[in-house]
Structure 1
Amino acid sequence: MGIPLHELQLYKNFDDLARELLDLAKQIMPGKLIYLSSLNDKQQTILKLSDSHTEILISEGMVINLNETLCHRVNFDNNSPLIYEDLSKEDWLGELEETLIEVNIKSYLGIPIYLIDGKVFGTLCVAHNEGSHFDKQNINILQRIAKMFSYWLELERLAYRDSLTGLYNRQYLYKQFETNVKSEGTIFFLDLDGFKSVNDIYGHETGDLLLKEVAFKLNEFIKDQSDAFAVRLGGDEFIVNFPYISNKKEVCKQAEYLLNYLNTWTNELDKCQLSASIGIVSYPENNSTSLKSLLSNADKALYCSKAAGKNTYHLFNGNG
């Protein structure tokens, strides 16, 4: 669900477009607070508000546990708006009633926003501190505006995503290091052992399937790692970046786990008998070394892994 905030921050003109979206919605629903939010499996993040001063006590950047929000009840499966014209008349609220009283929301409209691939991005919401009537025609217009917004999101997303695997691409990697990397961290540079022979023996369709499976495994591998992300550089070369991790013992633990994970395949791909080699380079807080140099050093460490017999990892130590 959703697009990670660190990706949204790289989208060109995101703030301007979100503001245009809210301004249009405000003309359709005057006198009410309009806000744009993103959702993941656990949280809702308030991205933009139509008004900075309002009797409803929510703010931009606010992060709320998903089960404590009205948006949690939006029917995304059916693409249906959620409408509460007078929440004081609802008897299902339970603990949520206290939260709604605190933020002073008494009427609510939630419009689901999807990405083009069907995944949930978040919601376009209308809220008021009094009971409200939401006109059906106006709701339909807001749904159309939300759909246009999703098309723009897809255009931005394609600029930073690999078309085959859905992982981030080289452009995202460089942009991320230019703008956001301030903490210490570690880069894993992965190369699949024997991938060329897979294409030669089983064909490019199997090769593509294998690359997609690697992407899935990398996403599973990092899903609980704070701000980590995976990149396909091209071919069978991948990058995993771990902000906040540079301790040698922890780095080695992660590398060993990943190598084992990349040795286990589905029945269809087990015939390929593929493994991976990893070159590893760490960088300090407020790193001044260019990403190009970091990747070059990681590539040297990767070469050492290959020379040692493949299916292993090597940490860059200043020489390789």
Structure 2
Amino acid sequence: MKILKKRINMKIDELLPGVKTVAISGHVRPDGDCIGSCMGMYLYITKNYPDIRVDVFLEDVPPELQFIKDSDKINTSFETDVDSYDLFICLDCEKTRLGASEKIFDAAKKTLNIDHHISNTGTGDITYIVPTASSACELVFDCVDEEKLDIEAAKSIYTGMVTDTGVFKYNSTSPKTLQVAAKLIGFGFDFTSLIDHVFYEKTYLQNQILGRALLESILLLDGRVCVSVVSRQTMEFYNCTGNDLDGIVNQLMFTIGVDCAIFMYENEPMSYKVSLRSNGAVNVSKVAQLFGGGGHVRASGCTINGTAHDAINNLTKYIHMQLEGEEV
């Protein structure tokens, strides 16, 4: 396996000569960075290599991201008539988080893994992992020839960067990140409206469930941890999905005095999808990995089975250890 740890010598154009079929996919429950990187790569290849068949495999795209060009062409059934793709590009995750497309990855003739998650140890024949990068989209930009980009691919890549950096306010935002963003908005799309639509606009339902989650939140560990849980019963009452809960954990982190936020929702009976955020006092990636998840130092997630009470107790145990300066 060839592992590239730097932002050099990783150009997708070098892998495409002789390639006739390409599959692109990212993690389950795709977010803005996952969708933006997958579609940015798709739009780049289809524009510059029209003879290559490119298929994107992802779960359903949230409504606020469906403005990305050709997002309606995404294969959400994960069924294909190609037995073995010449190249599989795994973006924003490692292969075990691909869900239904993992079998397509395994069958591919060559695999490329591009990711920025520190928990990714590398899966793929060629692996390009830069944990210091702001997003998978930033790495996609590094891998393409910017002179061959068009406005639609640029918009898709920018979308992922905006969502994964919290509009460029997370500490993963580097001077390089802002330089890339400047080049992308130079293509001329309305980036202010894009940010409003993707990051700030919410439906009335989303505002209702956000209010409910904030109202029922609790402070633990002397006010240093803020926790909120949305039960299956509540989700059914509001007729909402996990996508309607995006951003709640970030709002919890805005609470004065809070070093770490935990947001959980019950996606299946006695099974909770957990989002963790930190201001740096806690490495939430370490906590998430203990429960089979992963992510970044300040933003990670996992799934925990059991009661909400037990999940909170188990999570706060390891958060408390870090707050007290102990190793996890």
Q: When the two structures are superposed, what TM-score results if normalisation uses the length of structure 2?
A: 0.33
Q: When the two structures are superposed, what TM-score results if normalisation uses the length of structure 1?
A: 0.33
Which one has the largest radius of gyration? 1
